[in-house]
């Protein structure tokens, strides 16, 4: 199978793959960070007592969850210019990933917060703790541990999703594979290398996620 495999071309194109990998990292980390903020805000809105805010947040989360990311990317990519907003592709991509992951993270955070048994919150209220004290001392310490493993799962998804930005010609890992394919017509070399690099990231995050599951979730049996 490997007799037609041209390793030299891969080495020759290593700078391109490096650039792709760097951009994939950059895009993933920036949009994960932004998505965390969006997610926490959306989750706060989702759990708030104010009905209008709650409805907006539900509409946001559900509409993101039931449409493909690619359509969301195109929506921003082709839609923003019609509104007169012109930003580089890479920022459009980060924006799309931010809104997409934000919705999923909102659900993850919500699951974490609601996983704290009601009795504890009631106990907190009757001990005279204020809302913020309850959040700070009772809910968050327990919720964070439950939230971290699925968040790492979301990080894996995000890294994979960033591959879709190749469709709007952001030079990330997948795009560098496409470039190699179109310049030399060597799809095997290109995409197996790309897949391998993604796998390295995946196994690293999966290992982290397994570790955090063992370490961070405190649960009585």
Partner 1 sequence: MTVLISGASLFLGTILGFLLGMVRSRKNRLVNPLIGFFVDVMRGTPFIVQVFIVFFILPEFGVELEAFTAAVLAMTIMGSAFICEIVTAGILAVPKGQWEASSSSGLNILQQLRLVIMPQAMKTILPPLVGQYVLLIKDSSVVSAIGVVELTRVGWLTVVRIPEGLMVFSLVAALYFAISYPLIRISNSLERKLTVNRVSL
Dig out the tokens for 54 from the structure: 């709650």
Determine the 3-state secondary structure of 66 from DSSP.
coil
Within 10 A of 116 (CB to CB), how many other CB atoms are there? 18
Q: Is residue 63 at the binding interface for partner 1, with CB under 8 A as the rule?
A: yes
Q: Which range touches partner 1 (CB under 8 A), out of 39-47, 122-130, 187-195, 209-217? A: 187-195
Can you tell me which of 36, 191, 213, 217 binds partner 1, judged by CB under 8 A? 191
Show contacts with partner 1 in window 103-132 (CB under 8 A). 117-119
Q: What is the per-residue DSSP string for 146-157? A: HHHHHHHHHHHH
Q: Is residue 79 at the binding interface for partner 1, with CB under 8 A as the rule?
A: yes
Can you tell me which of 23, 28, 147, 174 binds partner 1, judged by CB under 8 A? 174
Q: Which residues, other chains included, contact 89 with Cβ-Cβ below 8 Å and sequence gap of 6+?
A: 77, 165, 168, 169, 170
Can you tell me which of 6, 67, 114, 130 binds partner 1, judged by CB under 8 A? 67
Dig out the tokens for 108 from the structure: 């993850």
Cα distances (Å, whole numbers) of residue 178 to 25, 44, 121, 188, 189: 18, 41, 53, 11, 11
Q: Is residue 145 at the binding interface for partner 1, with CB under 8 A as the rule?
A: no
Pick the closer one to partner 1 by CB: 130 or 207.
207
Cα–Cα dist 135/132, whole Å: 5
Task: Give me the 2-21 binding string for partner 1, x by CB under 8 A, dash otherwise.
Answer: --x-----------------
Q: Which range touches partner 1 (CB under 8 A), out of 44-52, 71-79, 105-113, 133-141? A: 71-79
Dig out the tokens for 59 from the structure: 């509409």
Q: How far is the CB of 193 from partner 1 (least distance, A)?
A: 10
Can you tell me which of 167, 208, 213, 217 binds partner 1, judged by CB under 8 A? 167
Q: Is residue 163 at the binding interface for partner 1, with CB under 8 A as the rule?
A: yes
Dig out the tokens for 147 from the structure: 């939230």
Q: Is residue 146 at the binding interface for partner 1, with CB under 8 A as the rule?
A: no
Q: Can you say whether the dihedral through the CA atoms of 39, 42, 44, 47 is positive or negative?
A: negative
Are 216 and 145 in contact, with CB atoms under 8 Å apart? yes
Interface with partner 1 by CB under 8 A: which residues? Answer: 4, 62-63, 65-72, 74-75, 77-83, 117-119, 156, 159-164, 166-167, 174, 177-178, 181, 187-188, 191-192, 194-195, 198-199, 201-203, 206
């Amino acid at each position: 199978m490997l007799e037609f495999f041209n390793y030299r071309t891969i080495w020759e194109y290593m700078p391109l793959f490096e650039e792709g990998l760097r951009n994939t990292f950059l895009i993933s980390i920036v949009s994960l960070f932004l998505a965390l903020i969006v997610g926490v805000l959306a989750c706060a809105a989702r759990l708030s007592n104010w009905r209008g805010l709650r409805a907006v947040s539900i509409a946001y989360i559900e509409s993101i969850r039931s449409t493909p990311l690619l359509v969301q990317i195109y929506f921003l990519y082709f839609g923003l210019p019609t509104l007169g907003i012109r930003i580089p592709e890479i920022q459009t991509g980060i924006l799309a990933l931010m809104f997409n992951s934000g919705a999923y993270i909102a659900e993850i955070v919500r699951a974490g917060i609601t996983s704290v048994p009601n009795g504890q919150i009631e106990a907190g209220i009757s001990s005279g703790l204020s809302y913020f004290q309850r959040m700070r001392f009772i809910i968050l310490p327990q919720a964070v541990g439950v939230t971290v493993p699925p968040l790492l799962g979301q990080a894996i998804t995000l890294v994979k999703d960033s591959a879709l930005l190749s469709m709007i010609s952001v030079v990330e890992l997948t795009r560098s594979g496409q470039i190699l394919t179109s310049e030399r017509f060597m799809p095997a070399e290109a995409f197996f290398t790309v897949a391998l690099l993604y796998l390295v990231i995946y196994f690293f995050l999966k290992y982290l996620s397994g570790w955090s599951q063992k370490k961070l979730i405190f649960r009585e049996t």
